[in-house]
């Protein structure tokens, strides 16, 4: 059916900030949607609060709004733009829920906007746990015994009736948030309270547990004439009970018979029809009893999802693009299959390889949470790998997640070495079994130990419920490892004696050179040379959607060890772009944004772009972002293999975050030309000593500091520079393991648990600048000139990681002279480091003295934010500079000044990590960011808070409890709030301080003093905001309780004075002008002086 002519303007809803359960996969799908709609000639309007996305680039949609994803804001946009339709299926759960509430509030009707892709009825049938259950029963599909609860009593009744263990699943949530497993009544009550709170419709499913069953997913698509296709099946290696988003997943399913497969397909088709999707895709999750094949349905996501992004990358089928075309009334037979270029999208992709997905976790950043996986998602990122066998894909996958493992063990980083595994102690056996039974991020490795201490496939299955087929494949890897060890060298530099046939076999099993070097007591280099001498190099195969049946036009490759290479390297001028790998805290979508821009810039310069990345969620791994895509791990071996066949003129490593930077040294040693700023300059910036020399030479200030490898040394340094001090290990990103230490005891504690300190990796100690203003500067330079992209003043004081604190552009409190100094310093360092490309500097300003905290001669987290604020695509310019252009040639010689305010705010995953204290410090904890744009600081800040989910109140009671040195600064804040009509509540200490300057306060008892205390009030929704600054040193029991309750019950929580001041500013603004004002990015950019 030809595309719809009755609609012209379409509003696309993005998914907002990156949070656990909703990452850059929705930038990928949103961007594809924008392209697809414009191809068809529709006028596209986009709204997303996340500035770090490609989709919010001003050239992606006709009109782009970076505004909060709230009913209020989007209503304003609808009023202003009057779209005919809204496309909510590409913005994750956020987009879907937003559309749902716009409908509920009658906005869609009022402005007669149609929801395309998934009608509102389809949405509720899939998301409303009760309607869904009914729908499934109507078509005779099994669901686990369950009941829907709207309050705790109801829940308990249902629960006791079904029997423990119970699975609790709130409605309209994502990433299993609020979901949990209850083994007893007590847990049930707690989980119900939590779950009901988190569900936006306060509805929760209390369900019989089918933990241990197989978890199977299907991706289905349906068009308006009822053509239905299956994109792929996916089998979770981890059984039911572990969120799919945390599970290791393979595609296609490996242990289903043809008959079972057909059953699932048949059910999936019935389901997508019943749900009523008439132009789009759905992700369907089943559970299957491995003992008798019984099937129950778990859920349906009537939208693009994490899994569908994975399915797209796994098969090469562009689900988001096609879903969009279906949403506007086209049918599958009418949509071209771009991969073959000759067939249509009406077919079912088939594969001739095995796809493996594994997740990246960051438990280490949240001490105090159990390192356990369950139904509530905890992964912050994922990597995908492709191989011709499961074993090959698995080992590639493990090295792709960059946990410094190079495959399935035997890389020198195993907890237990072979000798101890040969004669395991009783408690060692106990530990191994326990860790196989209890799912965690490193269970795989314990299965390896299990195999080594002689557990059978069955024993391991019984403990883990991981299918025996997977376990046996792991066993095969271990057996080959034993084979290889027979050829161990006596001396490291002896030549490698592994017979060619065996060497080839290990490579086809996915073993990395690093693993082989370890097993053979050799070096990575020797293994590599031996390998190349005997012509054992990877051949690259195409991902072509059709198992080789048709010629593929899209150059999307993976490596394997087979006979024929399909990569056909061109003899064009080409450049490698090294991506950022899996998302993690400290390195996320911002870097993928930059890599994509590198690729766009190369296109504009007529140079072939070759992308290497292994993150399936990203735009950079979309088949039409670069001229060539290699879906490979980002290790020296895997990159050099590609270099060997492609021989590019160079590689771009400054955009992928720390990942490419970490290997850039080794790569350039191996002969790869690193474009832009030289590895030596990078070294100057990273190396403490050299960096200091540079600053001395330039007469620039740095907080007093020193390094230490022992407590004694550390003590001396601290004595010299004086407490408090900031301590951290060398070479870290995102402030990993970084702490502020206030006294000797603190220092002793830190050094005690200090991460491996050694002469080459000493502990770094800086004077901690208290109450200093932190400033981030992003600049671009070509070796002669340096232009400032933007100067961002942090809201929170120095001491709170730059990735976590809110920032404002332009600076709003810094004096002219300070800004001048900052610029001068930046220019000086850019010149000294001969920066060719991007540079980020972090300054701390105290008593008008400007200190340099660090310099990163690479793309920073704030590049997309700044680019969007000032309307200049810095990453693109930087790429062209790396290719030899000058800023003058590029016409960017003067920094932009803007006549509006842009605020960046971060979002945090505390809700995922119960028991973790929700305070900010030098270690980065945020997963994503939002942008607030408006004419005044107050308005922009308010927007940023709302967009980040911090619902600043306009009335009610505010609870204040702050540490002593904050009390004076808090007076102003409290007074202001009181004047604005808030009731102030405080604990005695703070209360006295406030009373003394006659603010009337209600005194609340300390937690142990009596009740009702603040916790009771939080539970009863009697507090609308909490201001609680941590009392410096070890956090107090009470504070921890208060803060975690605030998080749990979603009460706005502020933990810094500066944050409080800004918030008051924002609140005042909210009270003054009720309606949100919305303005498109294009409009903002127009008024920026050229």
DSSP conformation letters of 582-648: S-BTTBSHHHHHHHHHHHHHHHHTT-EEEEEE--TTSSTTSTTTSSEEEE---SHHHHHHHHHHH--
Closest distance to ligand ADP from the beta carbon of 819 (Å): 19
Q: Which of 546, 872, 918, 1057 forms a contact with another protein (CB under 8 A)?
A: 546
Is there binding between residue 229 and another protein (CB under 8 A)?
yes
Count Cβ atoms within 10 A of the Cβ of residue 547 and give its class: 0-12 exposed, 13-18 middle, 19 or more buried.
exposed
Instruction: Count the site residues for ligand ADP by CB under 6 A.
Output: 45
CA distance 352 to 544: 9
From the list Mg ion, ligand ADP, another protein, none, partner contacted by residue 798 (C-beta under 5 to 8 A by kind) = ligand ADP
Binding mask 171-210 for another protein (x = CB under 8 A): ----------------------------------------
Token representation of residue 662: 């970490």
Which residue in 350, 705, 707, 957 binds another protein (CB under 8 A)?
A: 350
842 part of the interface to ligand ADP, by CB under 6 A: yes
Residue 1019 is encoded by which pair of tokens? 């539970």
Residue 301, strand partner residues: 283
Sheet holding 114-115, edge to edge: 63-65, 43-47, 9-13, 85-87, 114-115
Structure tokens belonging to residue 1090: 């050229």
Binds another protein by CB under 8 A, chosen from 3, 38, 263, 976: 263
d(CA 467, CA 985): 56
CB of 173 to ligand ADP, least distance (A): 6
DSSP for 15-71 reads: --S-BTTB-THHHHHHHHHHHHHHHTT-EEEEE-S-TT-STTSTTTSSEEE----SH
- Range in contact with another protein (rule: CB under 8 A) among 13-21, 559-567, 684-692, 749-757: 559-567
In the three-class reduction of DSSP (H, G, I as helix; E, B as strand; rest coil), residue 945 is classed as helix
User: With binding defined as CB under 8 A, does residue 549 bind another protein?
Assistant: yes
Nearest to 340 by CA among 556, 543, 552: 552
Q: Which of 66, 113, 210, 484 binds ligand ADP (CB under 6 A)?
A: 210
Stretch that binds Mg ion, among 461-469, 655-663, 704-712, 801-809 (CB under 5 A): 801-809
Residue 853 interacts, among ligand ADP, Mg ion, another protein, none and using kind-specific CB cut-offs from 5 to 8 Å, with ligand ADP
Binding mask 753-792 for Mg ion (x = CB under 5 A): ----------------------------------------
| Burial bucket for residue 86 (CB in 10 Å: 0-12, 13-18, 19+) | buried
Choose the stretch contacting another protein; rule: CB under 8 A; options: 74-82, 251-259, 912-920, 950-958.
251-259
Q: How far apart are CA 336 and CA 342, in angstroms?
A: 7
Contact between 1070 and ligand ADP per CB under 6 A: no
Q: Which is nearer to Mg ion, 384 or 994 (CB)?
A: 384
CA distance 612 to 578: 5
Residue 353 as a binder of another protein (CB under 8 A): the answer is: yes
Position among 91, 95, 117, 241 found at the interface with ligand ADP (CB under 6 A): 241
658: buried, middle or exposed (CB in 10 Å: 19+, 13-18, 0-12)? Answer: buried
Q: Which residues pair with 215 in a beta bridge?
A: 236, 287
Q: Which span sits near another protein by CB under 8 A: 131-139, 347-355, 863-871, 1038-1046?
A: 347-355
- Does residue 566 belong to the site contacting another protein (CB under 8 A)? yes
CB of 586 to ligand ADP, least distance (A): 7
b or e along 333-367 (b: 16 or more beta carbons within 10 Å of the residue's beta carbon)?
ebbebbbbeeeebbbebebebbbbbbbbbbbebbe
Shortest CB 801 distance to ligand ADP, Å: 5
Candidate list 469, 711, 723, 742; residue touching another protein; CB under 8 A: 469
Q: Does 22 bind Mg ion (CB under 5 A)?
A: no
State the minimum distance, in angstroms, from the CB of residue 352 to another protein.
5
Which structure tokens are listed for 717?
Answer: 């340094």
In angstroms, give the least distance from the CB of 433 to another protein: 21
Fill in the DSSP letter of residue 950.
-
Q: Does 169 bind ligand ADP (CB under 6 A)?
A: yes
Q: Does 802 contact Mg ion by CB under 5 A? A: yes
The dihedral formed by the CA atoms of 939, 944, 949 and 952, expressed in degrees to the nearest 10 = -30
Backbone φ and ψ of 570, nearest 5°: -85, 170
- The distance of closest approach from Cβ of residue 375 to Mg ion in the complex, given in angstroms and rounded to an integer, is 9
Shortest CB 796 distance to ligand ADP, Å: 8
What residue spans of 357-405 are helical by DSSP H?
390-400
Least distance from another protein to the Cβ atom of residue 290, Å: 6
Q: Closest by alpha carbon to 384, among 284, 301, 466, 315? A: 315
DSSP for 906-918, written as a single string? EE--GGGSTT---
- For residues 459-497, one letter each, b for 16 or more C-beta atoms within 10 angstroms of the residue's C-beta and e for the rest, the string is ebbebbbbbeebbebbbebbebbeebeebebeeeeeebe
Q: Which does 844 bind (CB under 5 to 8 A by kind): Mg ion, ligand ADP, another protein, none?
A: ligand ADP
Distances (CA, A) of 40 to 86, 118, 325: 16, 19, 8
Tokens 């064009």 locate to 572
When asked if residue 265 is in the footprint of another protein (CB under 8 A), the reply is: yes
Contact track, ligand ADP, 757-776, x by CB under 6 A: ---------xxxx--x-x--
Stretch that binds another protein, among 29-37, 343-351, 523-531, 604-612 (CB under 8 A): 343-351
Tokens of 921: 């410090």
Q: Which of the residues 769 through 808 are near ligand ADP (CB under 6 A)?
A: 769, 772, 774, 798-802
Q: Which stretch in 175-183, 533-541, 663-671, 900-908 sits in contact with ligand ADP by CB under 6 A?
A: 175-183
- Residue 610's beta-bridge partner residues? 576, 628
Closer to ligand ADP by Cβ: residue 399 or 912: 912
From first CA to last CA, the distance across the chain in angstroms is 46
Options 390, 593, 910, 959; binder of another protein; rule CB under 8 A: 390
* Shortest CB 238 distance to another protein, Å: 16
**Number of residues in contact with Mg ion, rule: CB under 5 A?**
1
Options 255, 369, 705, 707; binder of another protein; rule CB under 8 A: 255
Percent helix, percent strand, percent coil in the chain, to nearest 5: 40, 20, 40
Q: Going residue by residue from 135 to 154, which x/- string records binding to ligand ADP, judged by CB under 6 A?
A: ---------x----------
Binders of ligand ADP among residues 715 to 734 (CB under 6 A) are 726, 732-734
Shortest spacing between CB 701 and ligand ADP, in angstroms: 11
Listed as own residue / partner, the contacts of 493-499 with beta carbons closer than 8 Å and 24 or more positions apart are 493/522, 493/523, 493/526, 494/522, 495/526, 495/530, 496/520, 496/522, 496/526, 496/527, 496/530, 498/530
Minimum CB separation from ligand ADP for residue 1057, in Å?
Answer: 15
Least separation in angstroms between residue 260's CB and another protein is: 8
349 versus 909: smaller Cβ distance to another protein: 349
Residues near Mg ion (CB under 5 A) are 802
Q: What residue ranges bind ligand ADP (CB under 6 A)? A: 144, 167, 169, 174-176, 179, 207-211, 215, 240-244, 285, 298-299, 375, 703, 726, 732-735, 738, 766-769, 772, 774, 798-802, 842, 844, 853-854, 922
Binding site for another protein (CB under 8 A): 1, 223, 225-227, 229-230, 252, 254-263, 265-267, 269, 290-293, 331, 333-334, 342-344, 346-354, 388-390, 457, 467-469, 472, 476, 541, 546-551, 562-564, 566
């Amino acid at each position: 059916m030809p595309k719809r002519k009755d609609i012209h303007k379409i509003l696309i809803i993005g998914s907002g900030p990156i949070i656990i359960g909703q990452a850059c996969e929705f930038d990928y799908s949103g961007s594809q949607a924008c392209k697809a709609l414009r191809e068809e000639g529709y006028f596209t309007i986009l709204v997303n609060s996340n500035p770090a996305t490609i989709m919010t680039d001003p050239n992606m949609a006709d009109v782009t709004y970076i505004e909060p994803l709230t009913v209020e804001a989007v209503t304003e946009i609808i009023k202003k733009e009057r779209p005919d339709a809204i496309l909510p299926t590409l913005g994750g759960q956020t987009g879907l829920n937003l559309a749902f509430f716009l409908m509920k509030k009658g906005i869609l009707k009022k402005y007669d906007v149609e929801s395309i892709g998934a009608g509102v009825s389809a949405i509720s049938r899939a998301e409303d746990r009760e309607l869904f259950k009914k729908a499934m029963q109507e078509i005779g599909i099994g669901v686990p015994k369950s009941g829907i609860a709207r309050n705790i009593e109801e829940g308990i009744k249902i629960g006791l009736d079904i029997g423990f263990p119970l699975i609790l699943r709130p409605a309209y949530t994502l990433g299993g948030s609020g979901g949990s497993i209850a083994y007893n009544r007590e847990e049930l009550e707690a989980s119900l309270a939590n779950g009901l709170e988190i569900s936006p419709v306060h509805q929760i499913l209390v369900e019989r547990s089918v933990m241990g069953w197989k978890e199977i997913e299907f991706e289905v698509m349906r068009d308006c004439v009822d053509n239905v296709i299956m994109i792929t099946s996916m089998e979770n290696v981890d059984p039911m009970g572990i969120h799919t988003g945390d599970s290791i997943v393979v595609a296609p399913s490996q242990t289903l018979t043809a008959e079972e497969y057909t059953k699932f397909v048949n059910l999936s088709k019935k389901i997508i029809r019943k749900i009523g999707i008439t132009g789009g895709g759905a992700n369907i999750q089943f559970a299957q009893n491995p003992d008798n094949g019984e099937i129950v349905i778990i859920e349906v996501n009537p939208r693009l999802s994490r899994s569908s992004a994975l399915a797209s990358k796994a098969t090469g089928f562009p689900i988001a693009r096609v879903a969009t075309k279906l949403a506007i009334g086209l049918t599958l037979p009418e949509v071209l299959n771009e991969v073959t270029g000759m067939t249509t999208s009406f077919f079912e992709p088939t594969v001739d390889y095995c796809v493996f997905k594994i997740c990246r976790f960051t438990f280490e950043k949240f001490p105090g949470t159990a390192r356990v996986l369950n139904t509530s998602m905890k992964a912050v990122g994922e990597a995908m790998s492709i191989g011709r066998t499961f074993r090959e894909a698995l080992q590639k996958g493990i090295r792709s997640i960059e946990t410094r493992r190079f495959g399935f063990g035997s890389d020198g980083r195993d907890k237990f070495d072979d000798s101890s595994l040969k004669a395991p102690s009783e408690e060692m056996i106990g530990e191994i079994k326990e860790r196989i039974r209890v799912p965690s991020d490193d269970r795989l490795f314990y299965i390896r130990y299990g195999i080594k201490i002689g557990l059978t496939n069955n024993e391991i299955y019984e403990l883990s419920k991981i299918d025996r087929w997977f376990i046996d494949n792991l066993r095969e890897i271990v057996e080959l490892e034993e084979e290889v060890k027979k050829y161990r060298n006596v001396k490291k530099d002896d030549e490698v004696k592994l017979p060619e046939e065996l060497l080839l076999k290990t490579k086809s099993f996915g073993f990395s050179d690093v693993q082989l070097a370890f097993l053979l007591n050799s070096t990575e280099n020797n293994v590599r040379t031996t390998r190349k001498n005997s012509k054992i190099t990877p051949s690259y195969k195409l991902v072509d959607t059709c198992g080789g049946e048709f010629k593929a036009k899209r150059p999307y490759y993976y490596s394997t060890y087979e006979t024929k290479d399909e990569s056909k390297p061109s003899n064009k001028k080409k450049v490698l772009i090294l991506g950022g790998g899996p998302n993690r805290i400290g390195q996320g979508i911002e870097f993928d944004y930059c890599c994509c821009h590198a690729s766009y810039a190369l296109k504009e310069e007529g140079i072939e772009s070759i992308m290497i990345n292994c993150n399936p969620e990203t735009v950079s791994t979309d088949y039409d972002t670069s001229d060539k895509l290699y879906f490979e791990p980002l290790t020296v071996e895997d990159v050099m293999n590609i270099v060997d066949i492609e021989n590019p003129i160079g590689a771009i490593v400054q955009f992928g975050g720390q990942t490419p930077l970490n290997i850039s040294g080794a790569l350039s040693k191996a002969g790869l030309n690193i474009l832009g700023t030289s590895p030596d300059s990078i070294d100057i910036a990273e190396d403490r000593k050299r960096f200091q020399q540079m600053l001395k030479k330039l007469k620039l200030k740095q907080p007093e500091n020193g390094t230490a490898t022992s407590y004694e040394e550390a003590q001396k340094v601290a004595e010299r520079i004086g407490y408090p001090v900031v301590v951290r290990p060398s070479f870290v990103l995102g402030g990993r393991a970084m702490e502020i230490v206030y006294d000797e005891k603190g220092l002793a504690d830190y050094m005690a648990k200090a991460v491996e300190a050694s002469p080459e990796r000493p502990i770094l100690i800086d004077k901690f600048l208290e109450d200093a203003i932190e400033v981030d500067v992003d600049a671009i330079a070509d070796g002669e000139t340096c232009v400032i992209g933007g100067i961002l003043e942090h809201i929170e004081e120095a001491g709170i990681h730059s990735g976590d604190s809110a920032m404002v552009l332009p600076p709003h409190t810094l004096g002219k002279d300070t800004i001048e100094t900052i610029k001068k310093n930046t220019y000086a360092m850019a010149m000294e480091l001969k920066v060719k490309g991007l540079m980020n500097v972090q300054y701390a300003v105290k008593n008008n003295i400007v200190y340099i905290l660090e310099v990163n001669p690479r793309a920073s987290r704030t590049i997309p934010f700044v680019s969007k604020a000032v309307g200049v695509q810095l990453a693109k310019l930087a790429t062209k500079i790396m290719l030899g252009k000058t800023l003058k040639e590029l016409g960017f010689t003067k920094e932009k000044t803007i006549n509006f305010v842009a605020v960046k705010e971060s979002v945090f995953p505390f809700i995922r990590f119960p028991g973790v204290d929700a305070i900010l410090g030098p270690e980065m904890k945020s997963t994503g960011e939002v942008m607030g744009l408006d004419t005044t600081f107050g308005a922009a800040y308010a927007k940023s808070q709302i967009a980040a989910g911090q619902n600043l109140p306009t009335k009610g009671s505010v609870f204040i409890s702050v540490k002593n040195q904050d009390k004076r600064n808090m007076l102003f804040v409290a007074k202001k709030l009181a004047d604005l009509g808030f009731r102030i509540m405080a604990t005695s200490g703070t209360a006295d301080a406030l009373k003394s300057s006659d603010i009337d306060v209600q005194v609340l008892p300390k937690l142990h003093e009596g009740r009702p205390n603040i916790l009771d009030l939080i539970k009863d929704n009697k507090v609308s905001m909490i201001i609680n600054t941590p009392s410096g040193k070890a956090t107090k029991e009470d504070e921890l309780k208060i803060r975690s309750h605030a998080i749990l019950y979603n009460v706005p929580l502020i933990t810094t004075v500066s944050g409080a001041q800004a918030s008051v500013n924002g609140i005042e603004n909210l009270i003054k002008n009720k309606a949100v004002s919305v303005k498109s990015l294009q409009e903002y950019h127009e008024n920026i002086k050229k």
